[in-house]
Structure 1
Amino acid sequence: MSWRYVRLPPQDPYHMITSFLAVGDHVSKGTKNTMLVFNSLETFVNVGFHQEVWLEVDLDYVRKNGIPVVRRDVGGGTVVITPGEVDYFLVMKSEDAPTNQSELYKKFLSPVASFLNSYGVKAEIREQDIVVGGRKISGNGAMTRGKSVILAGNVLVDVDVNVIAKCLRVPSAKFRDKLAKEMSEWITSMKRETGKTPSVEEVAKGLKKAFEEAGFSFSEEELTEDEVRDWNRLAEEKMRESWIYYKDLRHPELRSERCVKINFSVTLCHVDYKARKLIRITAKFSKEKVEEVSISGDFFVLTPRDFVERLEDRIRGIRVGDIEQVIRDTFNEFRPTIFGFDENDLINAFNEMLIKPEVQEIIS
């Protein structure tokens, strides 16, 4: 099957996170499957679709240093994008993508791993990432858009963990130093592994060659005028605070990282639960009911895209004793495709919250 190969110049943050959306819309309508390769003009913070900005980003630091914050349409965790990485996007018709997520990642990450191995490193696929010696050198995520499937990923050519750590929200300066040290233990780069810093062009050509050796056939093309027009429109939409802070604005009253009894009948509680990915739940309890709830985290929801919001709406207003059944019923109704947690993980996370003394005082 023939794919388009589109090599783009460096882009601003808003065009970085919308290129594949515009192309996905056109691939859904019949345009050829497309591989995009490019890098960023500047450093920026890229928040996952299901995350709350206030929980993940040191807003004081990024604002003082003029570092943009964007929200992407793909799940996963908050990442700090720098010009020292090369990003690739594989946009394909739904029928051309494996329906099993593990098979999807294996098929399209194998050429990336082969490219890295050509530099003498031992790159291996681990779930949706590629690692060298246990350290991530390529992070990836997948999403659906219309009748297309999109796999977004990167190759870390050079990484400054200190800059990354400064952009992320942490409880203290001491913890930030610890985070930077820990990040150097689970993130790596081509420069660190090989002692060399290949150019963006070298990486782009190497990726293309690796995919060709894996059986992909490319024709080098440019985006059409219609795609560029739609791309610019989408980039403008992603600049709006209503999009960037979408999860935050959806639950403006749920700002707590602990359990607090507000008055004799209301408690606000937050828990972080580690499943395959992190689930963050913040809920307000009034007597025996869930008055409000936010579910966020670094997980991926492929379909339906708004499943988490639908689930929040189903849980809001119900009795505490009905939480488990509502979760099971909602999963059964929508049959979501999720990478990072399942219904039992979510139930366990809520159960962990419900045994907190501050919650027990309200619901007992």
Structure 2
Amino acid sequence: MSWRYITLPPQDGYHMVTSFVSVADYVSNGGKNTLLLFNVKQPFVNVGVHQEVWLEVDLEYTKKMGIPVVRRDLGGGTVVITPGEQDFFLVVRHEDAPSSPSALYQKFLTPIVNVIRSYGIDATLKDQDIVVKGKKISGNGAMTRGKAVVITGNILLTLDVELMSKCIKVPSEKFRDKVAKDMRGWLTSIQDEIGYVPSKEELYKKIKEEFEKELNVKFEESNLTPEEIEEWDKLANEKIDEEWIYFKDNRHPDLKTERCVKINSSLALCHMDYKARKLLRITLRVFNKTIDEVSISGDFFVMSPQGFLERLEDALKGTPPSEVDRKIKEVFDKEKPVIFGFTQEDLIKAFQELISKPEIQEII
């Protein structure tokens, strides 16, 4: 089976997060499965599609330093992308991809695990990430678009922990030192493990060979089509629009709080972080004993259907707190979402815990 193998020069953040979209449309329309390799020109903050920027990014610092904040179409957490990582994008026909997220990652990330192991590094696959003795060396995600499945990921070649920690929102500057220390505790890189960074030519050769061997395919060196490039440029320009970058923040402009507060005898605003397999961040406004507005964000992946999270938030509006469990089950049964990072039961438990807060109980 012949697949396309495409390498590109370094790109800006807006082109990086949209490259696989135009390729997914090409594959959906009958084009060949494609492996795309390149890295970024300059650092940028990459925010997951289900996250609120204000909760995740130190905007004062990024604006001062001219570091772009870019929202991708894919779930997962906020990461700082630098030229010190090698990125890869695999786009395959839906029928060539396992339906379960765990099987999908196992199939398509095993070649990357093998590449890292080839340098004498004890790398293993853990969920959608590749780790070395508990430290992440490769962060990855997946999404569906049309008739294609996209797997995106990276190999950390070097780490700039100082820059990363400064871009991430923290409660205080004192806490930022802890964040930097923690990052060193849960992130590693090829350089950290073996003392040097392999050449790009060597790395590309290994990646190509491992995918061919593991997937039993043959790559043909190729280029993006003129139609893909045209769509890619169009999509990248759309990502620059602040309406897209802050769409989740602007969807809930009155829910910007990281605590619980009873405003009066009929109104309360409450936020809670709930750790399922991934992080759920829920902010709730209760007015006159019903849910007036809710925001659900986090570093999880909703692979399908598109727009599920927003429809779930809308469905919960006007629901009495006692009916939240039923409403969540109703929406899940109707839409049958494919989610990596939390389950229906996790979400129900998170809402139960949030609704049990004294600030909400006092007004319902």
Matches within 5 A, 1:1-364: 1-214=1-214, 215-363=216-364
Ranges of 4+ aligned residues in structure 1 off by more than 4 Å? none
CA distance, structure 2, for counterparts of residue 56 and residue 85 of structure 1: 21
Distance of 2:10 and 2:89 partners within structure 1: 14
CA contact (8 A) 1:88 1:153 kept: yes
Report the CA distance between 1:142 and its aligned residue: 0.3
Is this contact kept in 2: 1:291–1:316, CA < 8 A?
yes
Provide the secondary structure at the position in 2 that maps to 1:301: strand
Per-residue Cα deviation, 1:154-191 (whole angstroms, up to 9, x for no partner): 00000111111110001011111011111111100000
Deviations for 1:205-240, whole angstroms, at most 9, x for unmatched residues?
221121122223100000010100000000011110
- For 1:56 and 1:99, the matched residues in 2 are separated by 31
Query: Offset at 1:94?
Result: 0.6
2:6, 2:35 within 8 Å by CA — same for their partners in 1?
yes
Assess if the C-alpha contact under 8 Å between 2:270 and 2:284 holds in 1.
yes
Which amino acid is the alignment partner of residue 34 of structure 1? T
2:316 aligned partner, one-letter code: I
Query: Contact 1:281 / 1:294 at 8 angstroms: preserved in 2?
Result: yes
In structure 1, what is the Cα distance between the partners aligned to 2:91 and 2:334?
A: 29
Cα distance in 1 for residues equivalent to 2:329 and 2:200: 47
Q: Distance between the aligned counterparts of 2:40 and 2:57, measured in 1?
A: 19
In 1: Cα distance, 2:56 partner to 2:200 partner: 29
Q: Hey, what's the Cα distance between the residues in 2 that align with 1:328 and 1:24?
A: 32
Is the contact made by 1:280 and 1:296 (CA closer than 8 Å) also made in structure 2? yes
How far did 1:288 drift?
Answer: 0.9
**Matched-pair contact (CA < 8 Å) for 1:38–1:204:** no
Q: Is the partner of 1:302 in helix, strand or coil?
A: strand
> Are the equivalent residues in 1 in contact too, given 2:266–2:289 (CA < 8 A)?
no
Q: CA deviation at 1:320?
A: 1.3
Instruction: Decide whether the 8 Å contact of 2:53 with 2:246 is kept in 1.
Output: yes
Aligned length: 363
Contact 1:46-1:70 at 8 Å conserved across structures: yes
Amino acid at match of 1:64: K
Q: Distance in 2 between matches of 1:180 and 1:232?
A: 35
Per-residue deviation, 1:74: 0.7
Distance 1:62 1:201 in 2: 32
**8 Å CA contact 1:39, 1:200 repeated in 2:** no
Distance 2:203 2:136 in 1: 17
Show CA shifts across 1:55-95 (max 9, x none): 00000000000000000011000000000001000001111
Q: Secondary structure of 1:362's partner? A: coil
Cα offsets for 1:107-148 (capped at 9, x unmatched): 111110101111011110111011111110000000000110
2:323 aligned counterpart, secondary structure: helix
Find the aligned partners of 2:328 and 2:213 in 1 and give their Cα distance: 45
Q: Is the 1:50–1:296 contact (alpha carbons within 8 Å) kept by the matching residues of 2? A: yes
Query: Structure 1: where are the runs of 5+ without partners?
Result: none
Q: How far apart in 2 are the matches of 1:356 and 1:226?
A: 53
Shift of 1:194: 0.6
Q: Which amino acid aligns with 2:35?
A: M
Looking at structure 2, the residues matched to 200 and 23 of structure 1 have their Cα atoms a distance apart, in angstroms, of 23
- TM-score between both structures, scaled by the size of structure 1: 0.98
Does the CA-based 8 Å contact 2:267-2:288 persist in structure 1? Answer: yes
CA RMSD of aligned residues (A): 0.8
| Aligned equivalents of 1:359, 1:202: Cα separation in 2 | 58
